[in-house]
Structure 1
């Protein structure tokens, strides 16, 4: 009859080996993510998603810290790049200077519209804009996160390109390098229509 210590040692090895086997299984999260995206094409973060191409500009109105209004359908006539962001979102903050530069380079050809999803609205956004001295970006506010919910509870940043007729061309979830040639080519898709 085996000794008690030998029995415990064998059981201990079985538990350790069993734990290793569990770790070799694929994680449950990707399956859940795939299931959440069922019915829509999968796109990698930072890649353009064209599954909503042709959708019209949504009918929302936003204000800036001074109370000026922006009715999104009124953007028609000029291609528009709409960026949903927040001051607490590190990738969003990283993108803001790049978007400001893009707005400068594309002035008159493309309107870059940044809409903050900060729940504290102007109290957070106005000092952020003042501190960073953006030249071309406008501090539009969406403290109720209406636009993020409209786009499916989007993770931030979320950027959408609309052509001059107010139709969606593509959207990008996650941060993106708006200074590179790839960005120039993607934005150019709305300029040729």
Structure 2
């Protein structure tokens, strides 16, 4: 017979499995609450987005004004970089993995967006594959992704830098000062006209 404490553990484990492709343990003290200047945006209710193909995602302003984490990840040459290296213009950060079906489904349109927006904003996809670059390079070759750099985070440092659990894929828009504008949990079609309007919120 399971003890009450064991039952609570089992229930918590089931909930984690059901809520997304991946959930991570919250990190200690990295994320900051939304700033007062963005309190209006942070108070907006979450919005459900649905693509023409039936994919659903959630747009949230809950963390608007929060500074981007400083966790390091690797560039295409294996050198450490951080999100601060992209400050100076808007940044769209996509957190994904090759084993996550919704992540892979949105990658071609994210790649097209990276080409379209290259002069106005940075569009980066940081893989959480524990095997590093090998599966990412194979996937990019298979799907003809040419505009995204194969950034990798084999230690899952970015996920654990947030104080909340993040499901894959999650995409976060930062303004030129490195402050969050909004985030989307779930896969979307990045070449959609409505997405183009949302991206202008970082201007």
TM range (shorter): 0.7 to 0.9
Distance in 2 (alpha carbons) for counterparts of 1:41 and 1:186 = 14
Q: Deviation at 1:123?
A: 2.3
Q: Deviation at 1:65?
A: 4.5
**How many equivalent pairs are there?**
155
- Are 2:159 and 1:141 aligned? no
Distance in 2 (alpha carbons) for counterparts of 1:149 and 1:41 = 25
Structure 1 SS opposite 2:190:
coil
Q: What's 1:48 paired with?
A: 59
Distance in 1 (alpha carbons) for counterparts of 2:69 and 2:128 = 16
Q: What's 2:124 paired with?
A: 113
Q: What's 2:135 paired with?
A: 124
**Which of structures 1 and 2 has the bigger CA Rg?**
1
Structure 1 SS opposite 2:154:
coil
Residue among 159, 173, 183 paired with 2:195: 183
Q: What's 1:170 paired with?
A: 182
Instruction: Please report the RMSD computed on the Cα atoms of aligned residues, expressed in angstroms.
Output: 2.1
Q: Gaps (5+ residues) in structure 2?
A: 1-14, 20-42, 49-55
Q: What's 1:57 paired with?
A: 68
Tell me the TM-score normalized by structure 2. Answer: 0.70
Tell me the TM-score normalized by structure 1. Answer: 0.73
Q: Deviations over 1:17-52 (max 9, x none)?
A: xxxxxxxxxxxx7xx98xxxxxx9863452321011
Q: Gaps (5+ residues) in structure 1?
A: 1-28, 34-39
Q: Deviation at 1:60?
A: 1.6
